[in-house]
Amino acid sequence: MTRSEFKELLDSGFVFLDGATGTNLQNAGMPTGVCPEQWILENREIMVQLQKDFVDAGTQILYAPTFTANRLKLGDYGLEDRLRQMNIDLVAISKEAAAGRALVAGDMTMTGRQLYPMGTMMFEELVDIYKEQAEALIAGGCDLFVIETMMSLQETRAAILAIREICDLPVIASLTFEADGRTLFGTNPEAAMITLQSLGADVVGMNCSTGPDGMIENIEKMYSVANVPVLAKPNAGLPQIDKEGKTFYPTSPGDFAAEGRKLIEAGARVLGGCCGATPEHIRRLVEMARSTEPKPVRTEKRRMLSSERAFVEITLDGMLQIIGERINPTGKKKLQAELREGSLDLVRDFARMQEEDGAEILDVNMGTNGIDEKEMMLKAVYEVTQVSDCPLCIDSSFPEVIEEALRIYPGRALINSISWESEKFERLIPIAQKYGAMFVFLPVSDEGIPATQEEKHAIIHAALEECAKRGIAKEDIVVDGLVATVGADPEAALHCTDTFAHCKNDLGLATVCGLSNISFGLPERSFVNMAFLVMAIKSGLTLAIANPSQELLMNAAAATDMLLAREGSDIKYITRAQKYKEAHAGDPKPGSAPAGGAGAAGSGAAGSASGNSTAVNPVYKAVMNGEKTKIIKLCETELSLGTKPDDIISLYLIPAINEVGDLFDKQKYFLPQLIASAGTMEKAIAHLEPMIEKKEGSGPVETVVIATVEGDVHDIGKNLVALMLRNYGYRVIDLGKDVPAEMIIRTALEENASVVGLSALMTTTMMRMKDVVEEAAEKGYKGKIIIGGAAVTSSFAEEIGADGYSRDAAECVQLVKKLLSDNI
């Protein structure tokens, strides 16, 4: 099926998907612990009948049972060499069931391996893994692709790129969200939609996660920024246990359909069911939809950028938005020196500081001599995306550097810049289209910088016309005003403001400029920059590339927006004014002497011998910021100041990781920051522990055995739990994934473990947790059993007789501490 044909299908009204595969096959006799794809091939008639029933119920797109048929997942069963034929044969099963009455989607999902920098797998390796499976699915004759149950936006990007680089079949992308409205890696629904639709997904939505009622808010958020149809494929509720100890899904077909109507009202156009959804659930859903109309797919484009965890909208009539300029080695000798040494510490610091100071987008430029710019740009993108939620502006003179950065960037970026020079335009425009990026347009032609305003505007018009021919919307373009120095051209500022006004009022284009160019070569440049900024904002400037730590500039921008009566600008100005007043409360009045003498700033500080309070101690801050490269050196500095190794742990490391956990709970930190901080602390403890003298009579270290239960091969959350528990001094025995109940309890008894921790991502494997509880009772294990995982709930823990439930790694540490203290 072509993408245009698929669009016609989507435009015609609702499109209905199938329901659950795993839970229905388990009810039909598929045991746990087997390779699902292999079992289906050995019992193909069961799969054919299930999918025929879905088609009879109204399903228009069947998911081929190829969910985990990639190299890594099949490798867990020693079947990776059969990948191609298995995918072909599994598509054939769905083709037989469809019998021409439904389309067949090649189904792909996560590999279970973490991507760099949180894990060891590199992005290109993952793309190759997805390409391998996609090629096999194409060979099998799939009509389109679905990428589903994705927890990582970056992995979803890898799968879409893999498919797009080998074919032009339609692609559906579907993520699973936690109870807090974000994916496991912290992506919100809007950022997911903005990123994936710009990358070329034909449908974007969510599946699994929860029942229909729990999806409504996220679907609304996706629809609010969508230019493609929104998908909703919920579970039939969250699993529960009946009196006989069997798992069931509580949402009946009738209730499923009734709640499905609310999803339609929220904006869902592509509908189906996930875990627990039977053909009858789909039948009732289809019947319900006959009496309603889908909400329209929005055609108007909005200027939106995204990072992995946030998004920014650029509006022509909104407040001025700042692109932070500091991650650029030009004129910064210290940054140049660090980059030549391979250090990115300053880059990380600049990213954090600029976001704190009010930048909404961060420009990243690695152009300096003595380094491999492409290699350093990739490293910088990895580092900045770990410490900041701001979308990035990828800034380079070399198209190959821009392309490599866009490829690994987990969001929708802004390119800085594409000019009207023939070679650069022809090279970079396809790159912008492939990766769905917005771009800064520099009105410079093969003849160089335009000599007149008329020539500059003619270039802008010509580029706009050419972009329209290539399917690029004007909302994807931000015009650079080409700021020259007023010292050389007295009318430089007037020319720029004329361009800003023309672009906004006549062409409907966003604009940007580098403010500081206007004052080059003049004394007291900040005054000139500030005056120019006020003029530019009044003329229609949309974005400014500037240093957000310049208070005069930022406060002038806020005041100007307020005077122009822009929405929200009054509150923004008042907030900035209050912060300015607080920051300068202790400043001496003109002519007065500084209060307190030279040493006053450090007097009375509690903490180490270095005079630092806990919150500002460098070791504490390094853990908070996930500074793995700095932590050993900082610990050594603290030791040289006389702080004992165990005091560094108790005064700085543990309080810091506790604060990280609190920020994680408050959704101010997300999984990448949690992993970075935990890894930093682990490195510090490994360095300090050999120096700590063991005290006589100190109690034994408590042991925790953890495992992902039998049949489940997901271990991201479990691995983080292990890391966090080790950081708190527990002896952790990690048995890995797909571990039978008997092995878990045998190890717990042999190792005298105080706690057993169980993880399960899939609803189809949750019941194996109950097996472990029963095995513990049978074998006389007296320790505590705790559980966690995406679909697991506290009520489920009570139902199976577990001692506790934790939502995440930070909460798990507190749960273990509480359970063990209760035992004393």
pLDDT tens-place string over residues 547-583: 999 999 999 999 999 999 999 999 999 999 988 888 8
Please, what is the average pLDDT of the chain? 92
Residue 259 in this model has a pLDDT that exceeds 90: yes
Residue 603 in this model has a pLDDT that exceeds 50: no
Encoded tokens for 318: 């909104």
Encoded tokens for 779: 């074998």
Where b means 16+ CB within 10 Å and e means fewer, 5-19 reads: ebeebbeeebbbbbb
- pLDDT score at 612: 54
Describe the chain by its helix, strand, coil percentages, rounded to 5. Answer: 50, 15, 35
Task: Tell me, letter by letter, the H, E, C secondary structure of 34-102.
Answer: CCHHHHHHHCHHHHHHHHHHHHHHCCCEEECCCCCCCHHHHHCCCCHHHHHHHHHHHHHHHHHHHCCCC
pLDDT digits (tens, 9 = 90+) for 721-750: 888 888 888 999 999 888 999 999 999 999
Range from 28-32, 606-610, 631-635 carrying the lowest mean pLDDT: 606-610
Q: How far is residue 199's CA from residue 432's CA, in Å, rounded to a whole number?
A: 10
> For residue 306, what are the contacts with CB-CB under 8 A and spacing of at least 6?
190, 191, 194, 195, 312, 391, 411, 412
Range from 400-404, 607-611, 756-760 carrying the lowest mean pLDDT: 607-611
- pLDDT score at 666: 84
Helix (H) or strand (E) holding 231: strand 230-234
Q: How far is CA 314 from CA 305, 318, 321, 336, in A?
A: 8, 8, 8, 32
CB 43 within 8 A of CB 269: no
Mean pLDDT of the 135-155 span: 97
- pLDDT score at 119: 87
- pLDDT score at 595: 40
Dihedral sign (CA 720, 721, 724, 729):
negative
- pLDDT score at 654: 86
- pLDDT score at 77: 92
Highest mean pLDDT among 193-207, 725-739, 798-812: 193-207
> For residue 144, what are the contacts with CB-CB under 8 A and spacing of at least 6?
1, 6, 61, 103, 105, 106, 169, 170, 171, 172, 202
Mean pLDDT of the 244-268 span: 93
Give the three-state DSSP class for 418: strand
- pLDDT score at 664: 84
Highest mean pLDDT among 315-324, 677-686, 691-700: 315-324
Q: Write the single-letter amino acid at 197.
A: Q
Left, alpha or beta for 594 (phi > 0: left; psi -120 to 50: alpha)? beta
- pLDDT score at 601: 33
Model confidence at 284, in pLDDT bands (50, 70, 90)? very high
Helix (H) or strand (E) holding 494: helix 492-501
- Closest residue by Cα to residue 175 from 33, 15, 308: 308
pLDDT digits (tens, 9 = 90+) for 121-133: 999 999 999 999 9
pLDDT digits (tens, 9 = 90+) for 299-347: 999 999 999 999 999 999 999 999 999 999 999 999 999 999 999 999 9
